[in-house]
Amino acid sequence: MVQYIIRRILAVIPVLFGVSILVFSFIHLIPGDPCSAILGERATPEKCAEVNAELGLDKPLYEQYVSYIGRVLHGDLGTSIIRRDPITEQLKLRFPATVELSLAAMIFAVVLGVPAGVLAATRRNSIFDNGSMIVSLTGVSMPIFWLGLMVSWLFGAYLHWLPTGGRLSTGIELATRTHLVILDSLLTGNTTALRDGLRHLLLPAMVLGTIPLAIVARMTRSAMLEVLGQDYIRTARAKGQIERRVIVNHALRNALLPVVTIVGLEVGLLLAGAILTETIFSWPGIGLWAYQAILDRDYPIVQGVTLFVATLFVIINLAVDISYAFLDPRIRLG
């Protein structure tokens, strides 16, 4: 098992190297000029030459890449060309908001998706099975931006049940320790902030978790149907074990491997793809930050966020691969 884990970790190194090259290259292919974004109407050839020299953009691409990767390895993702603040420091402040939203969305998807998939598999071709699959297909097909706007209008503007923007209401104070509103509220015993934070989190988490919910439900159903047809399930039933124990202890446990895989992938996708949800609900995470940076043509922020999210996605996939060895002892490196 140790050899398996070490080889999986070593395999990640060239992947991260390739990601850094792709991110660096794609950013330089984006139309637009950082000088125009910084100087606006005051941009002249002379001033642009000064700005490019200051930012190191007048050097050959290979020199820019070597300088860039050297800073990244030291934890420096650069400086915003618009606001002039360190990207790493802003990332530390904004990433917890995205983590909180993504985890809430994933909890929503798993808590509803796994039981729905199990029930659909154990009641195959029933009304519940057909209905859950129709709902799953609808959830996968529904555009996030449309769903977010409709939910925001219905529960926020029309019914006035829930807030539609931000993480806390104006006037509510909270001592920040982790920059996670829910966790900080629990740590400080601030029940007012906890209730308000949950109300702000509910709508965006439900919207962001819709697609993972549908995928987890369908994957759980497929995995359970495959496992329920195995010989050891029939043997367990023949021994007189109650059906609930057969489903939970034998079938679900052995069907978890593909479900864990899809959950890990979806967590990475949620962290990377929360731009639309954060923009609709004014959620101050890295998605909204990246969207604003794209509009401002603030290339270092776009580059830093893209590299950070891609690296995080690779690390999450690595963690999922390593978890296989613990979830299924039969897995060995061939």
**CB environment 292-326: b (16+ within 10 A), e (fewer):** ebbebbbbbbbbbbbbbbbbbbbebbbebbebbbe
pLDDT at 271: 74
- Token pair, residue 292, equals 């604003």
Report whether 173 contacts 69 (CB < 8 A).
no
H or E element that contains 258? helix 253-272
Q: Which residues of the chain have pLDDT under 70?
A: 1, 27-43, 51, 54-57, 272-273, 324-334
pLDDT at 41: 64
Report pTM.
0.81
Classify domain 94-297 at the CATH topology level.
MetI-like fold (1.10.3720)
Report whether 30 contacts 306 (CB < 8 A).
no
Domain spans in the chain, listed from the N-terminal domain onward: 1-82+300-334, 94-297
